[in-house]
């Protein structure tokens, strides 16, 4: 085949040499606009895992890189006058120029044609090419030429950064955070050869402009950074090699995703690779990794399907299918890390102590978990766990051991929970006329016995017309109150758990069938009239609710108050007000469901007015020593709906009204929503509200094991973790997770003690099965 790689960066060069190595008959050319020794970066970073892949695909290139790179295991934080270091992280740093020269030399050795100082305008300049690799970077002319095919989604991120170098040699990947009168700056620093370290300085656009950096030239910017980080530089100078850029050389990162990666132009197949197809923020150092992995995967597909023109379409389709998954995973992690640095000054730096700040930084991508940190650096993590436990009031045991973060106690007003795990309110739809029965006793009792610190029945409705389905729980009469009292008494007498109640009103989502009969489908018979913020049906064929009048609001508020009084008298330990998921109170908050033009529609304060009235009314009758939380939909997942920014505004309003905690859920406001699911996918919403609004939070959503919960709690992204489906599958989830991570401080019911040792032994046998 005739192959032309447009762009002589890592992606184009590495693919060229791999293809020539695998199939020497190919005629492979790399065309680069710059000279061989031109490069405008400093060092590049990739992981030990990427290095291992390179060893497998071309040992000679890997060996040449390995003798030239700087390898380090340590990460050091410089923050608030402290230096904290942890080890076991395994990164490789090498000068970008040196790496490109190694790849260029290997290409020439294998017979790849290298053409420098040629500026390619279009892929059609190579009409005889069977395959054109568009590896011409984030501003790819080839991609832009076929923008209607590739459909690139480019987002300019808000932070500013400048890529510098220094002759001070750092022996760890160093993160230095410095506060000025206008805000925070951070430096990402790593050594990449025997004489030089990369020194990237980053800050928000607001801080950048407040210091006048937008009006400085490069020399002035460099001098500013030298002065700001003088304590870390120890008299060494900063250097720039971006003289080709106008102005101060401060840049914004561009996040790129493409809908399609390949195209047939009528003569040649064109495929995107590296930064022309996707970008990943330097916060996790994966740009070079993605380029190398692209080159490897495309080569692998040719090996699998055939090194000839006829197989190119199938190869490109397979390449994109495989790479899209891994790229999405890396981009998600990079996005998390990037966003952490974008908000670090407003969310973490002023409030977190250095120990927790370090933990938050290390786990910023959500790819590194609590137990992964233990594998990397047990001593550091155990020291952090002792610090965290002390903050929770836990003294070390005789052997110095302390509980992992999820097993530390948590206090809110007069309520102290034994650990940080909550059984979420989960709709069972199994009540009769709102009355809980033996099912609810066994369901909630089993989970309270299973180790959770706090259990909730499903949303409990405050009136007959507040129900979602005929099977929903209710608390509006004496029979219901007596039945709930039986459950609360069991939890209090037989378990160390506490029990809360979540009060709510279905609003426009009411009068529907039980989930297993047709979720959200309107009742064919026995329906009741519905109320909502506006007269909008949930589904096109749902019953249309009546827009609430002032009289309706007074009646509903009274229903909530009377239910709260009953819950108080029963002895529930905590109350949660349901203001999420498109139910009645939620329908006032969202502009998708609130079209009112009176005092209860319009801006945030107006939309929150009625939910706040309800909250204040129940707070007035709820005991002062018992907490109230508020469940919010922190993202509507639909254009024009509430975003996390809106949710933060509402969280602040509820905090000011006396809410003790915000339960951070999302979605279910409109049926047309498009949520983005994934592990811990709602935790960032909790993180934002907890650390920006300074109110305790509950994280929910795809938290399914102890490692997840420990990571969330330890980083300060939430104070409690509410876990739903895992508790449905395993009532003893908390006890079992404690055993899986080797924590023996979680009590089991005395009646079950004899089973604990066997369970732990079985886990040990399973862990060693198949090992010599």
Strand order in the sheet with 70-72: 43-47, 91-95, 70-72
- Which two three-digit tokens encode residue 319? 């390449």
How far is Cα 276 from Cα 89, in angstroms, rounded to an integer? 29
Q: Beta strand pairing status for 251-258 and 152-166?
A: antiparallel
How far is Cα 270 from Cα 5, in angstroms, rounded to an integer? 10
Say if CB 598 and CB 544 are below 8 A apart.
Answer: no
How far is Cα 287 from Cα 45, in angstroms, rounded to an integer? 8
- Which two three-digit tokens encode residue 84? 């904290």
Q: Give SS3 for 186.
A: strand
Distance of CA 227 to the CA centre of its chain: 34
Which residues are within 8 A (CB) of 625 and not within 5 positions of it... i.e. 6 or more apart? 413, 414, 415
What are the residues facing 180 on neighbouring strands?
A: 183
E strands, 337-437, in order: 410-412, 415-417, 421-423
Q: Residue 721's closest CA among 421, 502, 423?
A: 421
Q: Which residues of 548-569 are buried (b: 16+ CB within 10 A; e: fewer)?
A: beeeebeebbebbbbbbebbbe
Which residues are within 8 A (CB) of 378 and not within 5 positions of it... i.e. 6 or more apart? none
CB atoms < 10 A from the CB of 209, how many? 14
Q: Give SS3 for 257.
A: strand
- Which two three-digit tokens encode residue 105? 């030399």
How far is Cα 423 from Cα 47, in angstroms, rounded to an integer? 38
Say if CB 45 and CB 92 are below 8 A apart.
Answer: yes
What are the residues facing 262 on neighbouring strands?
A: 271
CA-to-CA dists, residue 81 to 231, 390, 558, angstroms: 10, 22, 54
How far is Cα 568 from Cα 501, in angstroms, rounded to an integer? 10
Say if CB 359 and CB 366 are below 8 A apart.
Answer: no
Q: Give SS3 for 24.
A: coil
Q: Residue 736's closest CA among 714, 754, 755?
A: 755
CA-to-CA dists, residue 330 to 143, 281, 493, angstroms: 21, 10, 49
Q: Residue 709's closest CA among 725, 691, 724, 721?
A: 721
Q: Which residue has the tokens 């509903």?
A: 556
Residue 170: DSSP 8-state: P
Q: Residue 476's closest CA among 488, 487, 486, 465?
A: 465
- Which two three-digit tokens encode residue 561? 């108050």
How far is Cα 755 from Cα 680, in angstroms, rounded to an integer? 31
H or E element, residue 450: none
Q: Residue 686's closest CA among 640, 639, 644?
A: 644
Is 583 known to be catalytic? yes
Which residues are within 8 A (CB) of 334 and not within 5 positions of it... i.e. 6 or more apart? 280, 281, 283, 284, 286, 365
Please pick, among 161, 359, 583, 600, the residue that the annotation labels catalytic. Answer: 583
Active site residues per annotation: 583
């Amino acid at each position: 085949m005739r192959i032309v790689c447009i762009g002589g960066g890592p992606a184009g060069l590495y693919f060229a040499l791999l293809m020539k190595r695998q199939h020497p008959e190919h005629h492979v050319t790399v065309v680069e606009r710059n000279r061989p020794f031109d490069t405008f970066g400093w060092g590049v970073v990739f992981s030990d895992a990427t290095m291992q892949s390179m060893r497998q695909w071309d040992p000679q290139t890997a060996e040449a890189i390995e003798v030239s790179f700087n390898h380090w295991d340590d990460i050091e934080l410089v923050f608030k006058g402290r230096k904290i270091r942890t080890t076991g992280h395994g990164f490789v740093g090498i000068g970008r120029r040196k790496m490109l020269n190694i790849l260029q030399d290997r290409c020439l050795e294998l017979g790849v044609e290298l053409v420098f100082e040629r500026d390619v305008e279009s892929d059609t300049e190579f009409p005889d090419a069977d395959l054109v690799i568009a590896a011409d970077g984030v501003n790819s002319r080839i991609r832009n030429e076929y923008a209607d095919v590739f459909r690139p989604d480019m987002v300019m991120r808000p932070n500013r950064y400048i890529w510098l170098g220094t002759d001070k040699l750092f022996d760890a990947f160093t993160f230095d955070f410095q506060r000025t009168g206008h805000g925070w700056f951070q430096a990402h620093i790593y050594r990449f050869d025997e004489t030089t370290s990369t020194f990237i300085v980053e800050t928000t656009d607001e801080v950048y402009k407040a210091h006048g950096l937008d009006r400085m030239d490069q020399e002035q910017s460099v001098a500013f950074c030298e002065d700001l980080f003088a304590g870390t530089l120890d008299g060494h100078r900063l250097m720039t090699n971006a003289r080709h850029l106008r102005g101060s050389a401060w840049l914004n990162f561009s996040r790129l995703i493409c809908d399609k990666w390949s195209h047939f132009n009528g003569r040649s197949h064109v495929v995107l690779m590296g930064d022309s197809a996707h970008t990943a923020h330097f916060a996790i150092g994966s740009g070079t990794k993605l380029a190398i992995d692209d080159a490897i995967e495309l080569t692998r597909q040719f090996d699998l399907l055939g090194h000839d023109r006829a197989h190119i379409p199938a190869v490109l389709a397979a390449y994109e299918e495989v790479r899209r998954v891994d790229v999405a995973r890396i981009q998600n992690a990079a996005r998390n890390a990037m966003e952490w640095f974008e908000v670090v000054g407003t969310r973490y730096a002023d409030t977190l102590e250095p120990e927790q700040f370090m933990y938050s930084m290390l786990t910023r991508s959500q790819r590194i978990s609590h137990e992964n940190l233990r594998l990397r650096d047990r001593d550091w993590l155990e020291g952090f766990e002792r610090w965290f436990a002390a903050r929770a009031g836990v003294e070390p045991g005789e052997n110095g051991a302390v509980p992992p973060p999820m097993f530390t106690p948590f206090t809110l007003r007069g309520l102290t929970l034994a650990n940080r795990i909550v059984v979420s309110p989960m709709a069972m739809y199994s009540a009769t006329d709102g009355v809980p029965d033996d099912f609810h006793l066994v369901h909630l009792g089993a989970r309270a016995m299973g180790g959770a610190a706090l259990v909730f029945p499903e949303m409990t409705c405050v009136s007959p017309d507040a129900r979602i389905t005929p099977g929903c729980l209710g608390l509006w009469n004496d029979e219901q109150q007596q039945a709930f009292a039986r459950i609360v008494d069991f939890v209090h007498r037989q378990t160390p758990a506490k029990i809360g109640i979540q009060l709510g009103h279905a609003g426009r989502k009411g009068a529907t069938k039980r989930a297993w009969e047709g979720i959200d489908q309107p009742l064919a018979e026995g329906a009741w009239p519905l109320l909502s913020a506006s007269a909008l049906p949930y589904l096109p064929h749902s019953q249309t609710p009546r827009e609430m009048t002032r009289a309706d609001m007074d009646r509903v508020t009274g229903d909530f108050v009377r239910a709260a009084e009953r819950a108080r008298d029963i002895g529930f330990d905590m109350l949660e007000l349901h203001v999420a998921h498109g139910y009645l109170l939620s329908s006032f908050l969202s502009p998708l469901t609130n079209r009112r033009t009176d005092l209860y529609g319009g801006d945030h304060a107006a939309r929150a007015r009625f939910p706040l009235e309800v909250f204040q009314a129940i707070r007035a009758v709820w005991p002062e020593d018992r907490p109230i939380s508020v469940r919010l939909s922190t993202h509507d997942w639909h254009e024009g709906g509430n975003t996390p920014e809106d949710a933060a505004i509402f969280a602040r309003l509820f905090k000011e009204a006396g809410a003790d905690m915000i339960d951070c859920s999302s979605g279910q406001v409109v049926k047309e929503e498009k949520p983005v699911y994934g592990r811990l996918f709602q935790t960032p919403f909790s993180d934002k509200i907890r650390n920006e609004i300074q109110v305790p939070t509950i994280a929910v959503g795809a938290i399914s094991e102890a490692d997840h919960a420990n990571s969330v709690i330890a980083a300060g992204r939430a104070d409690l973790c509410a876990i739903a489906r895992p508790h449905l599958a395993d009532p003893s989830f908390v006890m079992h997770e404690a055993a899986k991570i080797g924590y023996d401080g979680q009590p089991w019911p005395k009646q079950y003690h004899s089973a604990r040792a066997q369970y732990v032994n079985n886990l040990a046998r399973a862990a060693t099965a198949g090992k010599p």
